[in-house]
Every structure is written in structure tokens, then in C-alpha cells.
A and B are shown apart, each in its own frame.
Chain A
């Protein structure tokens, strides 16, 4: 099965004396409609791999294909454009802009993409906030929201431009079990019901257990890919 994102021999090395290998020789496929998790001990390179997959970092070896096209050689602006229009990101810490309200944070990528008018962008932002159950918190700045609420705003923002791929870097890492379960459920729905590809780095075994594909990493390499039967 062909994926949205395909890595072939992907590697990332930090130059220095001696050079540090973060990721090396990774082959993997991220598929639409599937919830993929990347797991492994601390320092195994799973976050580094996620930044490579999310076009935030550039590989030092191997190639990365997004929708069949080699993307690691694209210019910074072209890569930014793909991140903006096609990807969504959810980080461990909510990473919302503190000066902007929940609604404004969600609207940021929409406005930057500039396909919608301000009015349409606002309507879409409200719709997304409603989708994560926060329509009544739209005017609050991040410091007035709880940790779980912030992370849900971040998810709403990740969905702003209707991405084909959502990348999560320990999206539940900072949340209690109740909020954590809620976030995971949201992500799973996005994959199974809306057909988006989800790739999450996590060290929460509970999340890994419910994912469709589990990529286990060790020392910068993929050790094993475990695929659960599609339910």
C-alpha cells in the first residue's frame, strides 16, 4: 500500500567531532486513515525522526517522498508551504502564541494560507474549536486555559488548513489520564473517520497499544514495525 509519506534510508547526522547520529537508515511509510505511533526509549531519535517527517528538519542522507515527490531537496519556502497547507502539528507543550486568543491561534494558519476571507477564517476557526468542545473559550488567551484545553486548541489549530497528515510530538505528554484519553480519541477519530494520516511520537504504552501501526525505534534505527489488524 502506498503512503502519503515515504522514507527511504532516511538519516540525520549532527556535524561535529565526533558526529552524532540521530536517525539512520529509516524506511517507513505513513498511510492515510491510519494512526501511526513512533515509540522507543528516550534519546532513540523518535522526535528527530518526526521533525524529518514533518519537513521541519532536513535529512543528511536518504530520501523523503511526500505524495510521491522528493521533498528533502526543496527550498525552505517550498517546505514551509507544504507544512502550512498540508500538515498539522501537535507538540508536547501546547505551543500556542500567548498574545493571541484561542480563536486567533486557530486562525493563524488559515490567515497565513490566505485562501479564506477574514470572516470565513473566523467561521472555520469557531467550527474547529467547537469540534474540540471549546467554542465557549474562543476569546481566552492561553494563560486562561487549562493544560487539556490548550492541547485541544493546538489540535484545532493543527486541523486549520484541513491537513492530510497530522504529526504529534508526545501530544499527551503533559496531560493527565482523562485529558490524555480525550486527545487520543480525537486523533483516532481524525484518522479513522476523516481518513487523515496521523503520526505520533509517544512513550505512553497505552497510546501505542491502540495505534494501527507501531514503529519501534532504538538508537536511531527502526527496530520493528508492528501492524495491528484493522478493526
Chain B
């Protein structure tokens, strides 16, 4: 069987080697198709991954907040569930905001392989310097843990997150806010909240410009500091979770929410709008790229089809000396596959070259030296190869079927 296939392949190769020009044209078609597929998909997938990475990293993979998806039932309703008497209008119990038993949640998350939970408390304060006042959302964190779950550290122009621990009353604010207030690192500002008197804070770090939220409206302090400043000792209202596999976020978030009742929002949920946008983008990309490959497969169809037309006499000879219909079909399908194979190899080279060129381009965005994000994973190469093979095989199979149906008698009679 293998011997027979090898023999039939050798016939196909012989046919192709005698049709060099057409072979070159068809191979070029496939190569260009594959090459541009690789370049375009590397661009699209690369930028998409870059974008998703930013989405993922912009905030923790899962944020557990002290909110509930639906309001908690009041004690009366809870006690007299499905009772004969309907109660309403009783005094609503005031619940203390904040996540209860948050240590348990943190412990539960930390128990997941590779997951880290960082508790934090956020609230509003007013920064005052001279006659100038600025509202600021502050986030109290454990710098050690927070640094491991977020990219906050990378957003710092000056200072480090851990400086919060070494400086009494340290605060990190954004560059823009600092400019508005006219403070620099090491300067002292006064902060007041609704529940505490003014206290002095020392600026220990600055967030880069560009990240609007961080740059102008958010400040980071120690968790203890935030709790005392906001008058909510031992309370936290947010747990950020980082997972080993960000794509697990949806599942883990659902589990946590099911277990503890607090709203656990995965990054996918947070950015579902963007993700559906990316889906549309992918549909567009794959349709364009399929069109390229489809055109390339026309080249293969033409070569094999011509080969079949030219070789009708040879087909009749081979059929009459005892080659089966399947044999002939294999010969011509193999011609198409060989064209696709060579085309794919050259296409890979072309694609790699195009990616090198794209990858070497640099341009600057917001003062940062940027490169085009490219996806050079083997997956794209495999997709390109598989698609070309499939298209090439189908393109060759159509005329090959015709070849196998050539009736040798017609040819023999015609030759007389």
C-alpha cells in the first residue's frame, strides 16, 4: 500500500516537474496567500492579545466587592419566609458596608493553585494644600500583596509601592494631580475625610501620565492608614484576585460568588463589550484571509485541471494497462497537495520575513517607544498550513475526479 502510494506520488511529481512554469505560478499563489495570512493574522492576533493583556492587567482578574447582585433580604423576611402574614414597612436594618469574614474569602482564594488575593479598602478623601482642594479616591492596600496582583508598580514614574510601608503616612498620587497641587515627591499634603480630622500625608510616589484614572483621581496608601483615615477599622470592601490562568477567571468568579454571596466580577464580565468587538474583528480577519487562500487554491485548481486535460491520453494508457480509477485520482490529488505543500513552505518563509519587517518597525506613542505587537505562535503557521492543504486538496480533487472518470475507450477510439 505504501509502495503503491509512493509510486503514484512519483508519477505526480514527474508530471509537475514537466510543467515548471505553471507549477511556479500556482506555488507562488499559495505562498503569497500563506505569507499574507501569517502577516495579517500576526498583526491582528498580536494586537488583540496585547489589548486583552491590557484588559486583564488593568485591574485584578477578579474583583470581589462588598456589593450583592440583589439586595439582601431583611431579617423579618428571612425569619418568616413564606409566612401567612406579609410584613412590610418595618425599620430597615442598617448593614455595615464592607466584606464580612473577608479573611475566609482571602484564605479560600489563596487555596486555589497560583491564585493571590489582595484585600483593599477604598473611599474618598479631600487633599488640601494651601488654598487648593482636590477630591481623591484612595485605595488602602498591603503593598507586598498588591504588587503581586496588579501592574500598579509598572505605572509608577517615581517611587515604589513598598515605600508606603517605610514612610509614615505615605501616599502615592498621580503626576497630573501632583502638578495641579504643585507638589513633588517628599512634599506633605493634608488629607481629610468625612469621618476623620485632617492628617498630613507625605507623597512617596507618582503615577505616570496617560493612565487618566491613576494619574489624576486615585491615591494609594497603606490598608491600615486607609482604615483609620476613613474611620472603618478592620474593614475592607474589595478583594482583588490574580489567577495563574486569567481565562479561568469566569469560572472562579462564579464559584466565589456562589460560595460567599458577594459580587465577584471577572475581567471578562467587566469588559464583555470589548470582547464581543474582538469577535467581530476576528470574523472580518478570517473572512479576508480565507478569501486570499481561496484565490490561491484557484491556482492549484487551474494547474491540476490543465494537467488532467493535457494528460487525457496518458490517463487512458494508465487505465488500460490496469491502473484503477482510485490510482488516477490519487495521482492528481497528490499534484495539488504537492503544490500546496511547496506553497506553504515558501509562504511560511514569506510570512516570517513580513513579520520580521513589521516587528522591526518602531514608533512612538505618548513618548513611549513602541513596537507593533505581533503574534508569532506556531498556531498561526499551523492554521495557514491546514487551510492551504484543505483548499489545495479540494481544488485538486475536483479535476482529479474528472481524470478518474475518463473512459479509456473514448480516448483510444479518438486516437485511431
Taking beta carbons and an 8 Å cutoff, which residues of A are in contact with B? 47, 51, 54, 56-57, 76-77, 80-85, 87, 89, 91-93, 95-100, 108-109, 111-114, 157, 169-170
Give chain B nearest CB distance to A25 CB in angstroms: 20
Chain A residues with Cβ below 8 Å from B317 are 95-97
Query: Among the listed stretches B184-192, B247-255, B393-401, B408-416, which one makes contact with chain A, having 4 or more residues with CB under 8 Å of it?
Result: B408-416
Interface centre among A47, A82, A91, A112 (most CB of B within 10 A): A112
B196 at the interface (CB under 8 A from A): no
Do A47 and B416 have beta carbons less than 8 Å apart?
Answer: yes
Provide the bound-state CA to CA distance between A57 and B4, in Å: 25
Do A84 and B409 have beta carbons less than 8 Å apart?
Answer: no
Do A108 and B324 have beta carbons less than 8 Å apart?
Answer: no
Interface centre among A92, A97, A109, A114 (most CB of B within 10 A): A97
Provide the bound-state CA to CA distance between A177 and B123, in Å: 112
Provide the bound-state CA to CA distance between A168 and B21, in Å: 37
Chain B residues with Cβ below 8 Å from A109 are 321-322
Provide the bound-state CA to CA distance between A170 and B409, in Å: 15
Do A157 and B416 have beta carbons less than 8 Å apart?
Answer: no
Q: Which of B7, B316, B326, B413 makes the CB contact (< 8 A) with A77?
A: B326
Q: Which of A54, A77, A84 makes the CB contact (< 8 A) with B325?
A: A77
Chain A residues with Cβ below 8 Å from B131 are none
Provide the bound-state CA to CA distance between A184 and B196, in Å: 121
> Binary interface profile of B, 315-343, with partner A (CB < 8 Å = 1, else 0)?
01111111111110000000000000000
Q: Which of A56, A92, A111 makes the CB contact (< 8 A) with B320?
A: A56
Give chain A nearest CB distance to B82 CB in angstroms: 76
Do A77 and B416 have beta carbons less than 8 Å apart?
Answer: no
Do A80 and B412 have beta carbons less than 8 Å apart?
Answer: no
Chain B residues with Cβ below 8 Å from A95 are 313, 316-317, 415
Do A89 and B324 have beta carbons less than 8 Å apart?
Answer: no
Do A92 and B15 have beta carbons less than 8 Å apart?
Answer: no
Give chain A nearest CB distance to B77 CB in angstroms: 80
Do B324 and A56 have beta carbons less than 8 Å apart?
Answer: no
Q: Which of A57, A93, A111, A157 makes the CB contact (< 8 A) with B409?
A: A57
B379 at the interface (CB under 8 A from A): no
Do B320 and A99 have beta carbons less than 8 Å apart?
Answer: no
Chain B residues with Cβ below 8 Å from A47 are 412-413, 416
With both beta carbons as reference points, the residue of chain A lying nearest to B322 in the complex is identified as A84
Q: Which of A96, A97, A100, A112 makes the CB contact (< 8 A) with B322?
A: A112
Smallest CB-CB A-B distances: 6 pairs: A84-B322, A83-B322, A80-B324, A57-B409, A99-B14, A95-B317
With both beta carbons as reference points, the residue of chain A lying nearest to B13 in the complex is identified as A99
Q: Which of A92, A96, A99, A108 makes the CB contact (< 8 A) with B416?
A: A92
Chain A residues with Cβ below 8 Å from B313 are 95
Taking beta carbons and an 8 Å cutoff, which residues of B are in contact with A? 3-4, 7, 14-15, 17-18, 313-314, 316-327, 408-409, 412-413, 415-416
Give chain A nearest CB distance to B306 CB in angstroms: 15
Do B415 and A84 have beta carbons less than 8 Å apart?
Answer: no
Do B409 and A83 have beta carbons less than 8 Å apart?
Answer: no
Give chain A nearest CB distance to B413 CB in angstroms: 7
With both beta carbons as reference points, the residue of chain A lying nearest to B326 in the complex is identified as A77
Provide the bound-state CA to CA distance between A111 and B412, in Å: 23
A76-B324, A80-B322, A114-B4 in contact; A93/B18 too (CB < 8 A)? no
Chain B residues with Cβ below 8 Å from A57 are 409
With both beta carbons as reference points, the residue of chain A lying nearest to B1 in the complex is identified as A114
Do B320 and A89 have beta carbons less than 8 Å apart?
Answer: yes
Give chain B nearest CB distance to A141 CB in angstroms: 10
Provide the bound-state CA to CA distance between A57 and B323, in Å: 14
Chain A residues with Cβ below 8 Å from B320 are 54, 56, 83, 89, 91
Chain A residues with Cβ below 8 Å from B324 are 76-77, 80-81
Interface centre among B3, B320, B323, B408 (most CB of A within 10 A): B320
A47-B416, A56-B412, A93-B415 in contact; A87/B14 too (CB < 8 A)? no
Provide the bound-state CA to CA distance between A191 and B227, in Å: 111
In the assembled complex, 7 residue pairs joining A and B whose CB atoms fall closer than 8 Å, in A order, are: A51-B409, A51-B412, A56-B319, A84-B322, A95-B316, A98-B314, A99-B14
With both beta carbons as reference points, the residue of chain B lying nearest to A77 in the complex is identified as B324
Give chain A nearest CB distance to B85 CB in angstroms: 86
Do B412 and A108 have beta carbons less than 8 Å apart?
Answer: no
Chain A residues with Cβ below 8 Å from B15 are 99
Do B18 and A80 have beta carbons less than 8 Å apart?
Answer: no
Provide the bound-state CA to CA distance between A121 and B313, in Å: 25
Chain B residues with Cβ below 8 Å from A82 are 322
Provide the bound-state CA to CA distance between A84 and B7, in Å: 15
Do A56 and B409 have beta carbons less than 8 Å apart?
Answer: yes
Give chain A nearest CB distance to B154 CB in angstroms: 64
Chain B residues with Cβ below 8 Å from A169 are 412
With both beta carbons as reference points, the residue of chain A lying nearest to B323 in the complex is identified as A112
With both beta carbons as reference points, the residue of chain B lying nearest to A88 in the complex is identified as B321
Provide the bound-state CA to CA distance between A66 and B409, in Å: 20
Provide the bound-state CA to CA distance between A129 and B409, in Å: 28
Do A97 and B326 have beta carbons less than 8 Å apart?
Answer: no
Chain A residues with Cβ below 8 Å from B408 are 56
Do A80 and B415 have beta carbons less than 8 Å apart?
Answer: no
Do A108 and B325 have beta carbons less than 8 Å apart?
Answer: no
Chain B residues with Cβ below 8 Å from A100 are 14
With both beta carbons as reference points, the residue of chain A lying nearest to B415 in the complex is identified as A93
Chain A residues with Cβ below 8 Å from B415 are 91-93, 95
Interface centre among B4, B7, B313, B317 (most CB of A within 10 A): B317
